[in-house]
Amino acid sequence: MYSRILASLPIIILVLMMPITVSQPLSTTKPLWFYPMPAYDIAISNDGAMVAVASNGVYVYNQDGDLLWHWPADSSVYVTSIDMTGDGDVIVAAIYNSSEPSYRIVFWKNAGSLSGTPDPDWISSNIGSIIGPEALAVSDNGNYVVAVGTGNGMYFWNNTLSIPSGSFDVFPDYTDFRSPDPLEFTDISSDGMVIVVAGLGTIIEYLNLPITTSPTTYQDWIECYVKGLDLSNDGSVFAYTCYCIEEDSGSSYVVYMDAFERSILWVSVRLGGEASALDMSEDGEHIVVSTNVQGGSAYSVYVFHNASEKEGYYMPRGFNELKEPDIGTNLVPEYVVPDYNFTDFDYPEDNIFDVSISNNGGTIAFGTGRSVYILNEKLELHSVYHGTDYTVSYIVKVSGNGRYVATCGDRLDSVYYFRGIWPVVGGEIIHYIVSITDNLWLPIVGAVLALGILLPLVKRFKRS
């Protein structure tokens, strides 16, 4: 009898654990911390150790949710956009002061070592236009800042680390108002030598601004609406997504371009839905883009890996001397197909507002207002969080190392901080075990209870 009970013990424990395990799916997560507060934009350092929030002032937290510093003390300005360098050492923000009224850029260096309510190192002149969440960027070396407004202006500040501390009304070193369309997006290379701006149907590229006030510029007019833009860290390539109104319906595409040669490397196949956001890894190799059904509801999230290896798939429709279609000699598809698309939304009626990807493409996150979805390097759903209202994920940012995800709502909402993807190598395995036990504590308790019930029975039968 004793041997039979021991033999059946694992099966009994498994049966007792099964309903508990099913009720705690591994794909469900919860924030490490969150704060109800106004939030218009958010930025996160590469290691996830610093989170900067654009609110009624600038608020900077560490990865434990502790407030490191904020400015101004009286929360008298609205911060409409925020960005930081990968190491978190420089923070730049766009502010609106309703008492003047004015629109300015504020800049902090040594941001990671500040505390209290530190004044900015410098404050720009009034640029007269609101700067949105995708319209402000600082180079990764912290020495160059670019902004575009809801108007037609592009503003560039050079040698920003050398501007004397306490400077006020700092004018841009370069401005440009050639765009026929309001500008909404911008990005800058780590050395500031390449800048790309876009809005509606206009894309403009600026080369060599750190060394000349007469940069090389390229301007394209496209018959589509730009919905997202990103530049590789070295400035060699950039990608944008656009929505084109065609005869039968609208279509979205991803365009991948050589920034130096000004040539299209490839164009994606027609993507379903209306594009809403795009992000690209720092090396320019991994791209994520989201689309929605026109008029509302999520359509899909598309992923393109190894983007540079797809070069050559795009062949323009030209004609040779015989007026025959020139298809070239390389018989490859004209348009690039995504490597993956995600459509398994728990609330498909919600729009996808933002997407983000880690530096190596191994962590992808996207937000639908009330939900956050996180994919791992295998493009599997790693975790998902559903809030009770639409105050969770209008803005989504993945840390460069992919281990943390910061999100925020659109206005009077909340700031959330999640665990992302932790690699299981070396000493980091401890963090992975902690992550797993967050979801397995109920099965573990069930196993302990089962043992507590069965061991006395085993002893009783053994005595008999």
Predicted local distance difference test score (pLDDT) of residue 424: 54
In this predicted model, what pLDDT tens digit does every residue of 43-65 receive, in sequence order? 999 999 999 999 999 999 999 99
User: Is the confidence at residue 410, as pLDDT, over 90?
Assistant: no
The predicted-structure confidence for 321-378, as pLDDT tens digits, reads as follows 333 444 333 334 468 999 999 999 999 999 999 999 999 999 999 999 999 999 999 9
Which phi and psi angles does 19 have, rounded to 5°?
Answer: -65, -30
Domain boundaries, the chain: 1-30+428-464, 33-427
Indicate the CATH number of 33-427 among 1.10.10.10, 2.130.10.10, 3.40.630.40, 2.40.50.100. 2.130.10.10
Instruction: Specify the pLDDT at position 369.
Output: 93
The pLDDT, as a whole number, for residue 452 is 59
Report for 273-282, 329-338, 444-453: range of highest mean pLDDT: 273-282
For residues 314 and 390, which has the higher predicted lDDT (pLDDT)? 390
In whole numbers, what is the pLDDT of the chain averaged over residues?
84
Return the C-alpha torsion angle 70, 392, 284, 376, nearest 10: 120
For residue 377, the SS3 value is: coil
Q: Strand 67-71 relative to strand 78-84: parallel, antiparallel, unpaired?
A: unpaired
Confidence of residue 320 (pLDDT cuts 50, 70, 90): very low
pLDDT value of position 355: 98
- Output the six-digit token pair for 374: 């996180």
- pLDDT score, position 95: 97
User: What average pLDDT does range 217-225 have in this prediction?
Assistant: 90
The predicted pLDDT at position 172 comes to 97
**pLDDT mean over 79-91:** 97
- Average pLDDT, integer, range 303-313: 85
If one compares 385 and 13, the residue with the highest pLDDT of the two is 385
Cβ(326)–Cβ(319) below 8 Å? yes
Which of 17-21, 182-186, 262-266, 394-398 is the least confident region? 17-21
Neighbours of 145 (CB within 10 A): 24
* CA pair distance 154, 143, nearest whole angstrom: 17
What's the average model confidence in pLDDT over 65-74?
A: 96
pLDDT recorded at residue 88:
97
- Tell me how far apart the alpha carbons of residues 299 and 291 are, in angstroms, rounded to a whole number: 5
The CA-based angle 306-310-311, given to 5 degrees, is 125
Task: Report whether pLDDT(306) > 90.
Answer: yes
Single-letter amino acid code for the residue at 296: G
Q: Express each pLDDT in 112-137 by its tens digit.
A: 999 999 999 999 999 998 999 999 99
pLDDT score of 311 more than 60: yes
- Give the Cα separation of 252 and 405 in Å (integer): 27
Phi (first) and psi of residue 451, to 5 degrees: -65, -40
Residue 212 is predicted with a pLDDT of: 93
- Residue 170: is its pLDDT beyond 80? yes
In this prediction, residues 150-171 reach a mean pLDDT of 95
Range with lowest mean pLDDT among 5-14, 156-165, 365-374, 410-419: 5-14
